[in-house]
Chain A
Amino acid sequence: MGKVLVIDVAECVGCYCCQIVCKDEHVENDWSPYAKPQPDTGHFWLKIDEKERGTIPKVKVTYIPILCMHCDNAPCIPACPQNAIFKRSDGVVLINPEKCDGCKLCLDACPYGVIYFNTELNIAQKCTLCTHLLDKGWKEPRCVGACQREAMILGEEDDPKIKTLLDKAEVLHPEYGTKPRVYYMNLPKPFIAGTIVDPSNRECLEGATIIATDLVEGVKHKTVSDEFGDFWLKDLKWMHRYLIEVSKEGYAPKKVCIAYTDKDINLGTIQLTKPI
């Protein structure tokens, strides 16, 4: 049992309301014993990680809200020499502002980088999941309550409705081993995109087959170009190498390249020619 936050990245349009209302709640407002005020600027207890992906004209922007993960295996807790950081029975991790002596070891310990230092008050600070409100009967933390797309849900992990969402969700950087309580649906997978054209008559080619073969795992990802000759191979894996091949009836098949998904890839215009 315990609280979990589920965020659907596919819904996030980058309105930044969550980032802003977190400041609305915590700048110049003292919520002791949960948290003291954060400074006017420089802290992002919830921060939008904005990623521009691809190259012109195959460009997308993805926005991912990043906040304290309220980890079950939180490294900040043992890192604190003052025992100022603790985990509640509902899963929320808090820093006691009275006990914190400003040593900053928790900032170093947190692999997600979501702890911030308040130089004026000499204390470490982070997201409290607005427990000062939840404990008074509010249903949602401020960020969830301001989300224009209702992309964020706070719930109990035992709730069957939440469980269905958790089945489709994942955590950021599971390899850190911290067991976050913040889950993400539709985290971006790399895309490989392009446009298939016939240069001899300057036409877009619809219905070309594009196959990306994972050179290590052998899995083949297939798609078909649309009326504009465009294709987007999605649901690939980061840091994998793919052989890209294009074919269309009446044209010579083409091995385009080997693409490495350390970033999203725009293969540009791929020209197919008729066999001689």
Chain B
Amino acid sequence: MSFEDSAVKVCYVSGGLCGHSRSGPPMEVQVKDGRIVRVLPFRIPDEVRLYRVRTSKGEFTRPRRAVPAAYILAWKKRMDSPSRLKYPLKRVDWSPENRNPQNRGKSGYVRISWDEAIDIIVNEIKRVKEVYGTTEAILVQADGHGQSGLLHTFHCYGHYLFDKLGGYTSQVRNPDSWEGYYWGAKHVWGFDAQVGEPIQDAIFDDILENCEMLIFSGCDPESTVPGFAGQIGTIMCRWVKQAGIKIVGVSPDLNYAEAVHADKWIPIKPNTDAALYLAVAYTWIKEDTYDKKFVQTHCHGFEEFKKYVLGEEDGVPKTPEWAEKICGVPVETIKTLARTWAKKRTSLAVFFGGPKIRGPYSSEVARIEAIVLSMQGLGKPGRQFFRFWYRLGLGCKKVAPLPRYPEVDAEGTPPNFVEPYVYMPPAARSFIIKTLVPEAILNPPVSWYCAGSIICPTEDQFTKYTFPPYKEHPGIRMIWNENACWTACWSYGYKMIEALRSPKIDFVVGIHPWFENDLRYADLILPAQTIFEHDDIVPVNHTDIVGLVYQDRCIKPVGESKSDYEIHRLVAERLGIGDAFPPPEEALRRAFEKTLAAKKMSWEEFKRKKVVIYDCPTPEEWEEIKRKYNVKPGLTWFYELPEGKGLETPTGKLEIYSTGIAQHFPDDKERPPLPRYMPQGEAHQESLEHVRAEKYPLLMMSNHPKWRLHAQGDDISWTKEIPTCKVKGVDGYLYEPLWIHPLDAEKRGIKYGDIVKVFNERGAVLGGAYVTERIMPGVVYMDHGANHDPLSIEGKLDRGGCINLIAPPPHEKRIVGMEVRVPEMCSSGYLVEVEKVDLKDLRREG
């Protein structure tokens, strides 16, 4: 960018919100006189070679200009948003002598000094050791997404700190972006390192060349992608259209990608995809239009599945007529979908799987989806499981989805030394899977299967874990919270609030830049920084290009805020383990020196040059790389095996009938050896067929939000002027939109802009009615992550529209002592009712 004002300084900052030291492209920030003047999209330097996916239809590449999301471009608004924390705060009625846990969420806060804050922390940790005998009474919640500099904003240092102190209880982040694939599809095809989704190595080479139809199912590349990687999803959708691929969206909502890119929208009720898939399978079996040979050589257990589909097992043939009543898709559409899927080279496209993969019994949906894909010859040209993915990690085995040098993926950006705490099974012996944390606090002991970490062997789902792990364990007495968003982003946030306010919890520490969500219930709050307030490295490795960029501090830290890293370093120093946290400059330099870039320049040179984006291979080099690494796109290698034994499953084959489940849980009715359509059961009663539906006749569908990344960015005044971001009520409050079809709205006397209450037995949230044709009748839709703004804590009424507050727990009927076999997160597809709210009835408590 040319400008004549030499007083303007250009700084690069991280432009991603994944956290975990993984960023999209940077933003270019122009600073003058100590303030940010403007924020521009990054431009990949002209000398960098971009990738080109070469097909017979032409070459596909990306523009040089980065495509950050609107809320990333507006991120500077968060530096001084009204909720920004500037100083350490202590709850006015909390003291070591008088803790008043019942007032959490209601009391105000008083400013204290950093010295006093650290004193309190140090003394509380000492007290925990004295009173309870072990620091395992401290629960560390440090696995959330966040700002994505390499070092300073990583939500993880609590694990490292308390590990060095000698023990703690780890909150293990369950695979929230993959739930059904993890708890279900892994049993069909393995892919542990890819969290239950088939590998995406060089996938675009096949999709763009051979695919004729993409079924978008839990797929909105115009939404979630931007927060992680920039809106590269929009570029990929352009490739798909240019390649002449038909897009059919199967979803309860017409999502943002489907609204502009889809050729057809098939509305389907939440949680009923299994019924649709079964009817498709039925049609193929009856019409003999599936890959019989592949099913014979590459799959295990098809005969049992066939019996189930034809109704020979339960007397219910899974016909299109049967499915229509359940899922709402017309019979003729089901039949045509089946025939087109068989005839055209069809792949299933997801971006993490959306609401479909995060509903009740989504394990069964994912398994049945894997089976129907198998029936058409998974890995045949154009027949893949396609993720719209862009990086090597968590998605590929040997090479990236797009042309990239493997050494760039391996060594291009620095690893963060604490990353394993978030993704790998805990080394700590005391841990709780995140979905069961409220129960573990309120009603221990809790037993469940599988450590639940994102990377975990499938077999671990047959291992039972218990919290507390031993009899003398004191339970959870103190909470160290770097996440700030359990209440807004996990299921049944009201239960977590109950746990946070429990008298069992002596002390809650919250570390975050803003007063939002979980922080409302903290006793001590430490103000963290935004990415504008410290030097760091931007690890450009969560997008379609790889590089690293030196992040210059743009502005002075706001108030007395310190970075997450510095906060933990300060605490560590006071506790005598400061050596574990090297000075930031040193940590960054050491990290840089491990990278490929360091082979060509020194640390000082990098700080001057600022931008390193690695070249991509030429199309010829890419062919050579694929040859060298013996890579064929996606699952092509598997399809080409004469006998399909090559998967990480016990038989090596696609296990339609899961041998592992048959061995360990042969009588499990809710995740049986042969998957089935599962509307309800012991764990969940969220079906329209259930008696609860008489009181709560609507299905709530919830997705990754369009205008935030989960809970991040709900306080940006400019995005809140966008109609699908917030709906302004008559009271002037900006409500979270509640999408409702005109038929359902009319029945309830609801018009666009009305304030509505969304509720079930678990509680209620308010929203602004967004009356739209983009959602099916019988279904309502509210994105998760809106900032929790309680009107009544005891009355469980929230004004912010924090919908996950009322989402179901992993097991509805769990009692103490009962094990939870599939502790899945269930944040979409559950029963609610909606009614218009009278403003006079709204009262703020306390």
Contacts and interface: CB of A to CB of B under 8 A. Distances in A.
Decide whether A and B are members of one complex.
Answer: yes
A51 to B, nearest CB: 11
A136 B38 CA distance: 16
A29 B38 contact: yes
Nearest to B724: A50
A204 B260 contact: no
A52 B774 contact: yes
A238 interface: no
Interface string B324-366: 0000001111011101100000000000000000000000000
B186 interface: no
Interface in A23-81: 23-25, 27, 29, 40-42, 44, 48, 50, 52, 54-61, 63
A29 B8 CA distance: 14
A207 interface: no
B260 A137 contact: no
B70 A17 contact: yes
A41 B332 contact: no
Contacts of B330: 197, 202, 269
Question: Chain A binding site: helix, strand, loop or mixed by DSSP?
Answer: mixed
Contact of A14 (B68, B256, B265, B721): B256
Given A57-B266, A228-B264, A136 B73 contact: no
Contacts of B5: 136
B332 A57 contact: no
A237 B463 CA distance: 65
A138 interface: yes
A21 B73 contact: yes
Interface string B759-780: 0000000000000111011000
Contacts of B71: 20
A20 B719 contact: yes
A227 interface: yes
A41 B721 contact: yes
Contacts of A54: 773
B254 A59 contact: yes
Contacts of A13: 222, 234, 237, 256, 260-261
Contacts of A56: 254, 267, 741, 773-774, 776-777
Interface in B698-747: 717-719, 721-724, 741
B149 to A, nearest CB: 21
Contacts of A136: 2-5
Given A14-B256, A17-B68, A59-B773, A204 B333 contact: yes
Interface stretch (A96-104, A142-150, A242-250): A142-150
Given A16-B722, A56-B773, A137-B2, A204 B254 contact: no
Interface centre among A55, A61, A203 (most CB of B within 10 A): A61
B7 interface: no
B815 interface: no
Given A24-B73, A228-B264, A228-B333, A59 B259 contact: yes
Given A56-B741, A138-B3, A150 B63 contact: yes
Contacts of B555: none
B231 interface: yes
Contacts of B73: 17, 20-21, 24, 146
Contact of A148 (B39, B67, B721): B67
B266 A149 contact: no
B41 A146 contact: yes
Contacts of B39: 21, 24
A14 B260 contact: yes
B40 interface: yes
Question: Chain B binding site: helix, strand, loop or mixed by DSSP?
Answer: mixed
Interface string A153-166: 00000000000000
Contacts of B741: 56
Contacts of A133: 3
Nearest to A142: B38
Contacts of B68: 17
A41 B774 contact: no
A141 interface: no
A166 B415 CA distance: 51
A138 B267 contact: no
A4 to B, nearest CB: 21
Nearest to A205: B332
A269 to B, nearest CB: 8
Interface residues of A, number: 50
B578 to A, nearest CB: 40
Nearest to A202: B331
Nearest to B344: A227
Contacts of B266: 57
B74 A20 contact: yes
A41 B265 contact: no
Contact of B260 (A24, A41, A61, A145): A61
Contacts of B127: none
Contacts of A227: 336, 339-340
Given A13-B222, A52-B772, A56-B773, A150 B65 contact: yes
B216 to A, nearest CB: 14
Contacts of B259: 14, 59-61
Contacts of B337: 228
Contact of B335 (A41, A42, A50, A204): A204
A24 B74 CA distance: 7
Interface string B215-231: 00000001000100001
A149 B773 contact: no
A16 B70 contact: yes
A145 B226 CA distance: 17
A194 interface: no
B37 A29 contact: yes
A229 interface: yes
B3 A229 contact: no
Interface string B639-670: 00000000000000000000000000000000
Contact of A60 (B260, B332, B335, B718): B260
A258 interface: no
B2 A138 contact: yes
Contacts of A61: 254, 259-260, 774
Nearest to A28: B35
A15 interface: yes
Contacts of B237: 13
Interface in B357-377: none
A137 B3 contact: yes
Contact of A40 (B256, B261, B331, B717): B717
A142 B40 CA distance: 8
B232 to A, nearest CB: 10
A214 interface: no
B69 interface: yes
Interface centre among A42, A56, A150 (most CB of B within 10 A): A56
A269 B329 CA distance: 13
Interface string A196-208: 0110001110000
Nearest to A137: B2
Contact of B38 (A25, A41, A197, A203): A25
18 contacts: A13-B222, A13-B234, A20-B71, A21-B38, A21-B73, A44-B721, A55-B773, A56-B773, A57-B265, A59-B265, A61-B260, A133-B3, A138-B1, A145-B40, A145-B41, A149-B238, A150-B65, A228-B264
Interface of B: 1-5, 37-41, 63, 65, 67-71, 73-74, 76, 222, 226, 231, 234, 237-238, 254, 256, 259-261, 264-267, 320, 330-333, 335-337, 339-340, 717-719, 721-724, 741, 772-774, 776-777
Given A24-B74, A137-B2, A202-B330, 15 more contacts: A13-B234, A15-B226, A16-B719, A17-B73, A19-B718, A20-B71, A21-B38, A61-B260, A145-B65, A146-B41, A148-B67, A197-B330, A202-B332, A203-B335, A227-B336
The list of the 10 closest CB pairs from A to B, nearest first, reads A61-B259, A148-B67, A202-B331, A20-B70, A137-B2, A204-B336, A16-B70, A204-B332, A57-B265, A56-B773
Interface of A: 12-17, 19-21, 23-25, 27, 29, 40-42, 44, 48, 50, 52, 54-61, 63, 133, 136-138, 142, 145-146, 148-150, 197-198, 202-204, 227-230, 269
